[in-house]
Structure 1
Amino acid sequence: MTGSRSKGSRVKGAGAPTVRRSRAIAVRRWAIAVAVYLVAVFHRTSLGVAGLQAADRFSISASQLSVFVLLQLGIYAGMQIPTGILVDRYGPRRLLVVAACTMGLAQLLFAVAESYPMALLARAVLGLGDALTFVSVLRFAAGQFAPRRYPVVVSITGTLGQLGNVVATLPLTALLHGAGWTPTFLGAGLLSLASGAAVYLMLPRAPRLQRRPREAAVLLDSLRGVGRRVNAAWSLAGTRVGFWLHFASMSTSLAFAVLWGLPFMVEGQGLSRNAASTVLLLSVLVAIAVGPPIGYLTGRYPATRVPLAIGVNLATVLGWYAVLLAFSDPMPYWLLVTLVLVMTTGGPISSIGFALARDYNGPAIVGTATGVVNVAGFVAAIVACLSLGWTLDLQGSASLGSYRLAFAVAVTVQALGLAQTVRWWLLTRHWLLRAQEAGKPIPVRIQRHRWDLSR
């Protein structure tokens, strides 16, 4: 008996360092993959502080400036479901290499572009590379960590990605001012290529896939299957709540971050570019700080998820309308910062949409439902950016009065998303209450209130 215990002790003692080494290797590999995502977020938001220089460099109007975001985010949104198919077929390592190299080449082209069409092409290619990144990182992490650790890894991945947004504020502003347009974006492109090289050299190769006969026919059949899964996910009220919640939460905040925040604060509010960049940096830091508490709260008390999102969106919409109507002169600095920070919480709040997609869809279509939800916020940001740019062009100026009207139009996009969120939330509650009263299993138990839809 003693010999048996001694042998078990030796196995345990020898196995513990092996487990620790395996875990350390997994963390290092994941960190390399996350570096590509961090660079992607930096590329995605770089135009937020370079928008005014881009307008001068290419001699374009406000609505033409918005087309950069239309292309970049439009391609990103449209590629989410195809990216899932590609990562299943070719593996996350290959897609991360392709993503990093694509974004690097796009930024090199953007650095030397002197015409508006060439710059548009560069941003379109950038959106394509960006679209391949996040899903690939999550898929890679799923293969490196145990299922119980995976939700934590996903949360940390999103938080670390926001560091790319930090780099795209004050540091990028200083670099643009000191080095100029071409050296700055050449450096960004080379950074992306370096991250792709790190993935290629340091991440393990996936097992070689055996070529299948009639590969084109198999791919076509899988595409038809995707269409069926999208229809199945969209038919559920829970998916639509997640879609519209993501739409409302990200619309104004993403449009402000990727393009119109700095021009509004500089041309409309009279801030210096450094002061405006500081506000953007502060907003990113706040988003990083509030993300984990929101995740903990909504995970522990799932019934609070949608009401919390509705409250944040309502505060953002009413706050914007109030200050736009109340101040014909630049608003006080403290009020501007407060408004931006409240709006910024929309980014972390939007992740609630993914939890709803997971809860209300079966395992066979939950990935597709997540992709459907992820499209919503980027579509909303595109609409907000375009409506803002068109409104500025129609007024023919970039004065405070013009920005007030333009942002009122853009915030209306968020208000419409909020109205749809409330509508589908009430419909979903109606379905859940009926199922609960019939004794059927439901994702989250709820209580009936007087404001619920009638039986």
Structure 2
Amino acid sequence: MNDITHQKNFHLVRTSMYLLLIFIFMLGFFERFAPAAFAADLMSEFKISGSTLGTITAVYFITYTALQIPAGILSDRFGPRKIVGTGAIIAGLGSLLFSVSPTLSLIGLGRFLVGLGGATVFIGIMKFNTQWFHKRNYGMISGITLLLGNLGAAISAGPLAVILDYFTWRNTFGTTGTISIVLGIIIVLYVKNEPSEAGFTVHYKDSDKQSYKANQEKWYLELYKVTVNKHIWPIFVASIGTNATFYAFAGLWGIPLLTDSFALSNNEASLYTTLGLTAYGLASVMIGWWSDKVGLRKPFVIASSFLAAFGWLGLIIFPWQPGWSGLFLYLIIGLAAAQMVVSFAAVKELVPTHVAGMALALVNTGVFLAVSLIQPLFGWILDISSNDVFIDGMRYYTFENYRYGLWFSFIISLTGLVASLFVKETYCGEKNLKSQRSQGLSHPID
């Protein structure tokens, strides 16, 4: 087989596997953010308060968080094929249970299973990217990955609100659960962990092979080295300030704020979170490409952290209303969340390749642990500031109640901004790449 044919086959195989993983990634984003579109339905059907609703939806994030580091270890140890495929099947079963649950306890169990399965998907696909794409394109491919994943999130907002005019949330989750199970089976049967498993030649450093073997035998030592790496922790905190605040808001409270405070319909309010999620996805590609192009990470982390703090403060103190001013502020916090692309790229460049899954999982753990705390705490803040006002059996919240929760988000984002100032510049790993090229060890296929 000549080099041109070999390269075409490589791109075809890589693209087909990548798309399979992306489809399940999109479903995960959909299931993560969908409760915001039918929050009122859940509160009405089960007669629950904001704090209770926040706790139920946070079950997903708590489970997802608890399993991030184990998922990173499993990803480094077994590769993305098994953990993503199995995770997709488990998440699908959770969605099916969620769709038919008659009680809050079973609703919570369904969300637990969705979080259990979904915990493996993001780390698995990022690990796949480290094995199948050249490191000089990692920022851009990470951005594309988040953009495509965010299509699922965008569908969970405005489009889902329209779908719910014709189908129930139970029908919707029953369908997504079935699709997830089918995709999981296909991934287990078809996806390869690295190019060599598919018959493509890739050069690895001998030291990398030895380190990978050591990691298989003593993963806990490698995990320790990752956790004591002082350069990872500023990124950890900065990512919470941009991403955790946005995920918690877009995933639950962003729509109710508008329906409760400004009497918007569910469909109208969902347009705001749709815009924020779309901005997040599109900006993820742009910031990844731009960061790769200029060869820097830190300025983008700082700029997006500042943007997040500005957006949250704007929602609190600016005299905004539904319309352009409100859309602009939702857009700002969505744009800021695109920082995650650069943060993950920087983390990958701060650790050896064979423990990249663990390092990525550590930062992702911080983000989703924060989300699992922010959502119920935001609801608790609403409850204690509402003076127990009820209308038609449901607790009534005003914009002033929501403002207290927004202050909470702003403080977190401000803390992230301070942490971003201490992020170590990695120069996109270019120094290491030049060293590899001088030894003839660069990736033969881009």
TM range (shorter): 0.7 to 0.9
Give, in angstroms, the shift of residue 318 of structure 1.
2.0
The SS at the match of 1:60 is: coil
Is residue 2:349 matched to residue 1:353?
Answer: no
The two structures have a TM-score, normalised by structure 2, of: 0.81
Counterpart position of 2:58 = 70
Aligned positions of 1:267-416 closer than 5 A:
267-299=260-292, 300=294, 301-323=296-318, 326=319, 331-361=321-351, 367-394=357-384, 395=386, 396-397=388-389, 398-399=395-396, 401=398, 403-416=399-412
Per-residue deviation, 1:255: 1.4
Residue 244 (1) aligns with residue 237 (2): yes
1:298–1:363: structure 2 CA closer, same or farther, 3 Å change rule?
A: same
Shift, 1:113, TM fit: 0.5
**How far off is 1:221 after superposition?**
7.1
CA distance in 1, matches of 2:349, 2:65: 22
Tell me the CA shift for residue 152 of structure 1.
Answer: 3.4
8 A Cα contact 2:30 2:152, kept in partner:
yes
Measure, in 2, the Cα distance between the counterparts of 1:405 and 1:381.
Answer: 20
Highest RCO, 1 vs 2 (Cα 8 Å, sep ≥ 6): 2
* 1:106 Cα offset (Å): 0.5
> Residue 208 of structure 2 aligns with which residue?
none
| Aligned residues of 1:249 and 1:414 also touching (Cα < 8 A) | no
Asked if 2 retains the 8 angstrom alpha-carbon contact of 1:159 and 1:291, the reply is yes
Cα deviations by residue, 1:11-60 (Å, 9 ceiling, x for unpaired)? 8xx43233212211221121112111111111111112121112122221
Contact residue 245 and residue 418 of structure 1 kept, 8 A: no
Separation in 1 of the partners of 2:224 and 2:302? Answer: 31
Corresponding residue for 1:138?
Answer: 126
One-letter code aligned to 1:274:
N
Partner AA of 1:404 in structure 2: E
CA contact (8 A) 1:106 1:125 kept: yes
| Equivalent position of 1:174 in the other structure | 162
Q: Out of 51, 56, 65, which is 2:44 matched to?
A: 56
Aligned pair 1:120/2:108, yes or no? yes
Give the conservation status (yes or no) of the 8 Å contact 1:245–1:309: no
Find the counterpart in structure 2 of residue 91 from structure 1: 79
Name the CA shift for 1:189/1:231 in 2 (closer, same or farther; >3 Å).
closer
Q: How is 1:399-438 mapped onto 2 (pairs within 5 angstroms)?
A: 399=396, 401=398, 403-419=399-415, 421-422=417-418, 424-425=419-420
1:247-291 Cα distance to aligned partner (Å, 9 max, x none): 110233111211111111112221111111222222222222222
Is the alpha carbon distance of 1:133 and 1:48 closer, same or farther for their aligned partners in structure 2, counting shifts above 3 Å? same
Larger Rg: 1
Pair 420,135 (structure 1): closer, same or farther in 2 beyond 3 Å: closer
SS at structure 2 position matched to 1:89: helix
Deviation at 1:404, TM superposition (A): 2.8
Q: CA deviation at 1:407?
A: 3.9
Q: Which of 179, 185, 198 is residue 186 of structure 2 equivalent to?
A: 198
Residue by residue over 1:79-136, the C-alpha shift from the partner in whole angstroms, topping out at 9 and shown as x without a partner, is: 1111012123333212122111111111110111111111011101111111010111
Deviation at 1:140, TM superposition (A): 2.8
- Structure 2 distance, partners of 1:427, 1:21, is 43
Partners in 1 of 2:355 and 2:81 — Cα distance? 24
Alpha-carbon distance in 2 for matches of 1:241, 1:374: 13
Shift of 1:364: 6.8
In structure 2, the CA distance between the partners of 1:102 and 1:413, relative to structure 1 (3 Å rule), is same
Contact 1:247 1:376 (C-alpha < 8 Å) held by counterparts: yes
Q: Secondary structure at the match of 1:312?
A: helix
**For residues 277 and 70 of structure 1, what CA distance do their matches in structure 2 show?**
20
Which of 222, 225, 228 does residue 221 from structure 2 map onto? Answer: 225
The residue type paired with residue 304 of structure 1 is P
Cα deviation, 1:198-221, whole Å, max 9, x if unaligned, reads 3234335897xxxxxxxxxx9997
Q: Aligned partners of 1:73 and 1:166: how far apart in 2?
A: 19
Paired residue secondary structure (2:263): coil
Structure 1 residues 117-172: Cα deviation after superposition (integer angstroms, max 9, x where no partner): 11011101111111010111222344434444444333221211111112212332
- Relative to structure 2, which stretch is displaced further, 277-286 or 57-66? 277-286
Unaligned runs of 5+ in 1: 1-10, 208-217, 433-440, 443-455
Whole-Å Cα distance in 2 between the matches of residues 307 and 204 of structure 1?
Answer: 36
Q: Structure 1 residues 200, 406: closer, same or farther in 2, change over 3 A?
A: same
Distance of aligned partners of 1:144 and 1:412 in 2 relative to their CA distance in 1, 3 Å threshold = same
Q: Which amino acid aligns with 2:270?
A: S
Change (3 A) 1:425 1:137: closer
> 4+ runs of 1 displaced by more than 6 Å?
218-221
Q: In structure 1, what is the equivalent of residue 205 of structure 2?
A: none
